[in-house]
Each structure stands twice: as C-alpha cells, then as structure tokens.
Amino acid sequence: MVQAGPEYREKPEDILKLYVKNNRGEMVQYGMFIRMERVFGAEQITRYNMFNAIMINGSAAAGYSSGEAIRAVEEIAKKLPRGFTYEWSGITREEILSGNQAVFIFIICLVFVYLLLAAQYESFLLPMPVILSLPTGIFGAFFFLKVLGLENNIYAQVSLIMLVGLLGKNAILIVEFAILKYKQGASILDATIEGAAARFRPIIMTSFAFIAGLIPLVIASGPGQLGNRSIGTSAAGGMLVGTVFGIIVIPGLYFLFATIKEKIASGNIIETNREEKPLSELE
C-alpha cells in the first residue's frame, strides 16, 4: 500500500494535483480533466426486493390495536403517487400471514375432532351433533367482539380454537349419555331427553364457572389490555351463547342423526334378509 505525504493530502483539492500517465505516456494532473465539486446525497441506499426502499418503524397509539394500525397505513398507502408501493416486514408481516392461516387451522381442528369422534362412536353420523353445535359458540364470540368494539386479532383466534374443545366437551357429555341409554334399550327420543336432562346441571355449572373466571380478562385495563380483552371477550361470549343454545340444539341434532342412522341400519338388515331368503327356500 502506498500513501502520499501529509502535505499532499491535507485538502480534498490536493487530489487534483496528483499525476497520472495518459495514452501517450505523458504525466498529466488530474485537474486537467477532472472537476471537483461538493454534492449531497444519502450515506447508504436501502433496497428491499431489488427496489430502492425506505424503512419506516412505528407502533400503534394508545388505545388502538396493531390490526387497526395496519389498516390505517394501508389506507394512507392508497394515496401514494404512481411508482410507489409498500410492503410489510418483520413482526407485522408475520402477524398478517398468521391471520390468514387461522381459517385453515380452525378447519383442521374440526376435521380431527370429527375423525376422533367417528372412531369412538363407530359411526360417521353420530359425531355430527357435536360438530354442528360449534357454530353457535363461534357466532357468540364474534357477536360479543363486535358489541364491545374489538377486532378479530390473533388473541381472539386462539380463543376460537379453545372454544372448539370446550363446547365440544359439552356436546359429547349429552351425546355419550344418550348413546349409552339407547344401547340399554331406551328409544331414541327417551335417550335424547334423558341425556339432556342428566347433563344439564354439570354443563351449566362448568360453563358458567369458566365464564366467571374470564370476567377479569373482559374488563382488563392497562398494558396489554387489548389482548386480554380480546381473548376474554371471545371465549366468554362464545361459551355463553354456545352453552345456552347448545343445550337446546345438541339434543335435537342427536335425535335427528340417530334416527337417520337407525333407518339406514334397518334398511341394511331388510336388504340382507331379502338376499338370504331365496337360499332358505332352496333348503
């Protein structure tokens, strides 16, 4: 490495006094063909996906959620001039992607619940009362979120997954007891009524105890209040509506699908007897 003496590099203009050999072999100063001037520009150029970009960091204001902040930024971005666009990165990008995947996760949960119940009951029809009773709780969760001015964020979506298990448990209590009574010889109607009557008190007690435990989250304040209120309101509202309507809907659904199952089974027996009848006549 070669470096000029201090007296030859005190000022930027000293560069013009340096010599370089031209195509004729002559030594000429840089000042003969270079002009130096001061300009101003960015110290570094940031790029994102091969485009010049500016990174903007921020957070939601007090009393607003991250989802509301995202929508506000998207509304402002619609007014950008032609040639400008925006893209999310970091935690916000992960939040948006995870929100889009919540629907698929919820569907997968329902499928697994249905398959497990179908294996337990040895029937593809009897799990349907449990699965079809869940929308009442989901409706209650969204209804209470709307009434209290909360949004469907990641915390509310976690509570929806939780409601699948809790409301499914209530439905299973009624359906299993009704199946047990039916196997003991009771009619479908009597088994349905006995199942709903016997499991009414346990379902009410456990459900309202769960709702009472969520009240502190529903009325939460201070740091993290939006997350606490979202998960508490969604879970409590879904459990309240799902329990009230479930004790009415679940017995009716079980009676419907148990009747269909019995008719299908009776039809199969009749068809089997018809196929065996010619053989008995030959004997």
pLDDT digits (tens, 9 = 90+) for 248-269: 999 999 999 999 988 888 776 5
The pair of structure tokens assigned to 36 is: 């130096």
Q: Is residue 161 in a domain? A: yes
Instruction: Name the pLDDT band for 105 (thresholds 50, 70, 90).
Output: confident
The SS3 assignment for 117 reads: helix
- Report the C-alpha gap between 127 and 123 in whole angstroms: 7
* Identity of the highest mean pLDDT range in 40-44, 79-83, 94-98, 230-234: 230-234
Residue 136: name the closest of 219, 243, 34 by CA. Answer: 243
Residue 269 is predicted with a pLDDT of 56
pLDDT at 200 over 80: yes
**For the residues 169-191, what does the mean pLDDT come to?**
92
Instruction: Name the pLDDT band for 87 (thresholds 50, 70, 90).
Output: confident
Q: Is residue 78 in a domain? A: no
- Report the C-alpha gap between 163 and 238 in whole angstroms: 7
Domain that holds residue 114: 101-282
Strand-pair category, 47-48 with 51-52: antiparallel
Residue 282 is predicted with a pLDDT of 38
Chain segment 23-78, per-residue pLDDT in tens: 888 888 888 888 888 888 777 888 888 888 888 888 878 767 777 788 888 888 88
Residue entry with tokens 């485009």: 51
pLDDT at 273 over 70: no
CA atoms within 13 Å, Cβ hemisphere of 76: 7
Q: Is residue 3 in a domain? A: no
Q: Is residue 87 in a domain? A: no
Q: Is residue 6 in a domain? A: no
- Report the C-alpha gap between 158 and 117 in whole angstroms: 22
CATH number at residue 253: 1.20.1640.10
Q: Is residue 35 in a domain? A: no
Q: Is residue 94 in a domain? A: no
Amino acid at 38: R
What is the total count of domains within the chain? 1
Q: Is residue 114 in a domain? A: yes
